Structure 1
């Protein structure tokens, strides 16, 4: 007994007429009759009572009608569920992000757009430092990462796609001696205790650039892992920090932001994923973001 037999039997049981059932199934009536007889022979008894005008169901036939309808319904449900999974409409996408992704609005824009297009896909967001995002994506505990591209050498197993770039601003306490300036130059940062982001790796591009520009006058006093910690320490007067311009949208008591006249020190945001991604949901997220996401600058 296969699904075709159940489909044929159910058509006859619902139409109560071989001719109409054959027409509905788009097959000839003799072929349909042979299939039903073969089914009855396989099950070992009659399922239908045939009259000159219509067909009636035996008790066994009534039972099979209910079971066949339930089975075919489940098969159709399974087919649709698998097809949706293949298209990425269901499944899970685990996203890591650094502060830039939130303050620039890029993360919310991408997640909102994807959720509207794929409402049944599960989305999990987690704030992680860039190096931890790289490791999590490689180990399979994270699928997509939004992070600054600190590293001159990229892992060949990962894909790196730029999704935003901004200038930098200097954040400091409101009573800092540089707070009276409307804009700052690199030279004004000489010997100032700098609060820098922790990168847990080789010197970042920003470190290298500042070292070239300030030389021995570069004073990195602190390494901090999160943007809120950077703002807190700057507001407390423990140093100043160079942060991506979108962070200036965050109003913190006692903290001021000043434009830095140094376009070469731009901050970027990169979307990182696996080169050979096996998950249909993750591929759907990446493709949707590439198609609908706007480069932020």
Structure 2
């Protein structure tokens, strides 16, 4: 039994006439009659009582009317759900992010824009390090990751692309000797102590950056496991912190931010995801994140 047989059957049942049903279905009447006979033979019982003037349902036909409508309605619903999924209008997107990614505002902007366009898509968030995000995406536990520059290498089944770049700024206590400057140069920093962000191996990237701009091994006073810890130690006057420029909008007691004048390197935000992604909702979100 095929769905078209049920559609043909319902057309005859609702019109009560083979000719009108054939016209409604845009097929010739002999073909419709042949399909109905084939359906009756498959079911082993007549579905219509035919007279010269009209066609009436048999008791078996009455039963099939209700079942055919339910079946066709379910088939149409399945079709619509599949098409919505393919268009990215339903489903789910599981997003990993590092702490700094949320401060930059890009993630929040992407979430808001995507939800306005696709309100039926379920979105979940999990804070995780870049390495944890990559492992979770490969394991099918996350779909998309927002993280700083991915220095540990990207798996062959993952893709990464830069979706944001911001200047570095220097965070310092308000009574620090450099707090009166409008901007800071690399020469100003050569003998300073630094508070280094060190969550999940991030200190490697930051130490290499400091070596590059200072031209020497940096003096590290503390390693901190979060951005808030970096700013807390900085506010106590125990060292300087380097943070992406968007964090300078974060008001923190006894902390001032100054631009780093002679450095072209940026704090980058990277998007990671499965290279062979098939989900419509996830592909739609990736498209949104690239804009």
TM-score normalised by structure 2 residue count: 0.90
Residues 129, 200 of structure 2: 8 Å contact kept: no
Task: Give the corresponding residue for 1:176.
Answer: 176
Deviations 1:221-244 (A, max 9, x none): 222232222222222333220100
Residues 87, 280 of structure 2: 8 Å contact kept: yes
Choose 44-53 or 28-37, whichever is displaced more: 44-53
Deviations 1:200-223 (A, max 9, x none): 448644422322443556112222
Q: Distance in 2 between matches of 1:67 and 1:240?
A: 73
CA drift of 1:21 comes to 0.4
Where do residues 102-117 of structure 1 align in structure 2 (5 Å cutoff)? Answer: 102-117=102-117
Query: RMSD between aligned alpha carbons?
Result: 2.3
CA drift of 1:68 comes to 0.5
Where do residues 54-65 of structure 1 align in structure 2 (5 Å cutoff)? Answer: 54-65=54-65
Residues 171, 256 of structure 2: 8 Å contact kept: yes
Task: Give the corresponding residue for 1:28.
Answer: 28
Deviations 1:126-149 (A, max 9, x none): 222223223322333222111111
SS in 1 for 2:175: coil
CA gap of 1:44–1:160, structure 2 versus 1, over 3 A, is: closer
Residues 195, 241 of structure 1: 8 Å contact kept: yes
Q: Distance in 2 between matches of 1:156 and 1:184?
A: 40
Task: Give the corresponding residue for 2:141.
Answer: 141
Task: Give the corresponding residue for 1:156.
Answer: 156
Residues 130, 199 of structure 1: 8 Å contact kept: no
Task: Give the corresponding residue for 1:66.
Answer: 66
Please list every run of 5 or more consecutive structure 1 residues that lacks an aligned counterpart in the other structure: none
Figure out how many residues of one structure are paired with residues of the other and give that number. 291
Task: Give the corresponding residue for 2:37.
Answer: 37
Q: Distance in 2 between matches of 1:202 and 1:226?
A: 10
Q: Distance in 1 between matches of 2:172 and 2:181?
A: 12
Q: Does 1:248 align with 2:253?
A: no
Residues 136, 142 of structure 1: 8 Å contact kept: yes
TM-score normalised by structure 1 residue count: 0.88
Q: Distance in 2 between matches of 1:12 and 1:254?
A: 81
